[in-house]
Amino acid sequence: MASLRLEHVVKRFADATVIHDVDLDVADGEFVVFVGPSGCGKSTLLRMISGLESVTEGRVCIDGKRVNDVSAAQRGLAMVFQSYALYPHMSVRQNLAFGLENLRTPAVEIDARIQAAAKMLHLDTLLHRRPAELSGGQRQRVAIGRAIVREPTIFLFDEPLSNLDAELRVAMRAEIMALHERLGTTMIYVTHDQVEAMTMADRIVVLRAGRVEQIGTPLDLYNRPRNRFVAGFIGSPQMNFLSVRVASVQAGAARIAIDNLSGAMSPPIAVGSNVPADAPVAAGIRPEHVRLDRRDAESIEVTVTIDRLEQLGALSFLYCTLANGEPLTVQATGQVTHQAGETISVQLPTASMHLFETSEAARSLTLADRAVAG
């Protein structure tokens, strides 16, 4: 059981900086997920926490103590690797025992811990087997078991489920969450799968190109993305972005007009301060917030052509194009009677709309005290 703190952590390889000035506080017992596209530095950050990778600048603290110069072995953490990294020449039992033997744990104690872990992970009948004789899910459980028996202060998971098939991944996800509940140990989990991040995390750290884009609870990120990257990364299918222009700003409310589209100005949208009038911005709206029903005063109505239709029974996805050529994905609950090629009107509720700068940073303009979107 331990807390973790990263202060201005930087990692450089030769002349390439892969981690830029990361600050993070992880409370004792928290489940934190690092998420981001591949190459964003999330695995490097995890390896820096583990001690397998050195820290170029900044401090890594475990329980308030600086551990920059403490070796991986001495930090008391355990890591589950993407490839499982089971010792292929050892049986499951030997794999589990290896770490404890290195710590000179008494044999009786080793046995007891292996029994407990094997029971917890349903490995009891597999202890004599070699990793090559196990299925993917079983190997994953052995890898987790190897971490458990060490009774680490923090668990580190490096994309542990990415080699499993979809069904097994969902099952293992539940197992890891149940494990967290039972052990109450701090866990740090790296994934590129935002669904995994949303379902498992107490808090999510979104990373891009070695920088932290946003830290928050899953719903926080969903409802109040701080910039366009986070908005696009969290949520599936991805948020729609339309190029729009701020027509007028009045008392913290902006009216916008969609580029190259005839139509009235939008109803007012609550924005934070300093939104320049007549500035080009990006309007983001999630597919599940676009409505197919009648127009109301709080929405922008647009006419779209349906290009493609996916009916999943409980859900329907409509891939449409606006008159100005921009794509718009619509998620409707239940089934729809529309056909591909049809032209329909859809409503974009302003309450669920996010506005982003068009600059490089693409900061959100609608962040200030935004209510939970409906």
| Residue 1 within binding range of other proteins, rule CB under 8 A | no
Task: Please choose, from the candidates 72, 73, 96, the residue with its C-alpha nearest in 3D space to the C-alpha of residue 149.
Answer: 96
- Looking at residue 66, its amino acid is R
The residue from 6, 22, 24, 78 that contacts other proteins (CB under 8 A) is 78
Q: How far apart are alpha carbons 350 and 327 in whole angstroms?
A: 18
Interacting span for other proteins (CB under 8 A) from 71-79, 112-120, 206-214, 314-322: 71-79
> What is the nearest approach in angstroms of other proteins to the Cβ of residue 99?
4
Contacts of other proteins in 149-208 (CB under 8 A)? 150
Distances from the Cα of 361 to the Cα of 14, 148, 180, 213, 358, angstroms: 27, 41, 35, 10, 8
How many Cβ atoms are within 10 Å of 199's Cβ, its own excluded?
Answer: 14
The residue from 73, 219, 264, 277 that contacts other proteins (CB under 8 A) is 73
E strand map for 118-239: 154-158, 186-191, 203-208, 211-216
Distances from the Cα of 353 to the Cα of 20, 26, 321, 366, angstroms: 31, 31, 18, 8
The residue from 87, 116, 217, 295 that contacts other proteins (CB under 8 A) is 87
Tell me the per-residue interface mask from 16 to 55 with other proteins, x by CB under 8 A, - otherwise: -------------------------------x--x-x---
- Looking at residue 80, its amino acid is V
> What is the nearest approach in angstroms of other proteins to the Cβ of residue 10?
19
Tell me the per-residue interface mask from 120 to 149 with other proteins, x by CB under 8 A, - otherwise: --------------------------x---
> What is the nearest approach in angstroms of other proteins to the Cβ of residue 47?
8
| Residue 113 within binding range of other proteins, rule CB under 8 A | no
Residue placing its CB nearer to other proteins in the complex, 14 or 108? 14
Contact, 373 vs 352, CB < 8 A? yes
Longest CA pairwise span in the chain (Å): 78
**Got the DSSP string for 252-296?**
TEEEEEETT--SPPPPPEE--S-PPTT-EEEEEE-GGG-B-S---
Contacts of other proteins in 224-243 (CB under 8 A)? none
The residue from 48, 49, 77, 142 that contacts other proteins (CB under 8 A) is 77
| Residue 79 within binding range of other proteins, rule CB under 8 A | yes
User: What is the contact surface with other proteins in residues (CB under 8 A)?
Assistant: 47, 50, 52, 71-73, 77-79, 81-83, 85-89, 98-99, 102-103, 146, 150
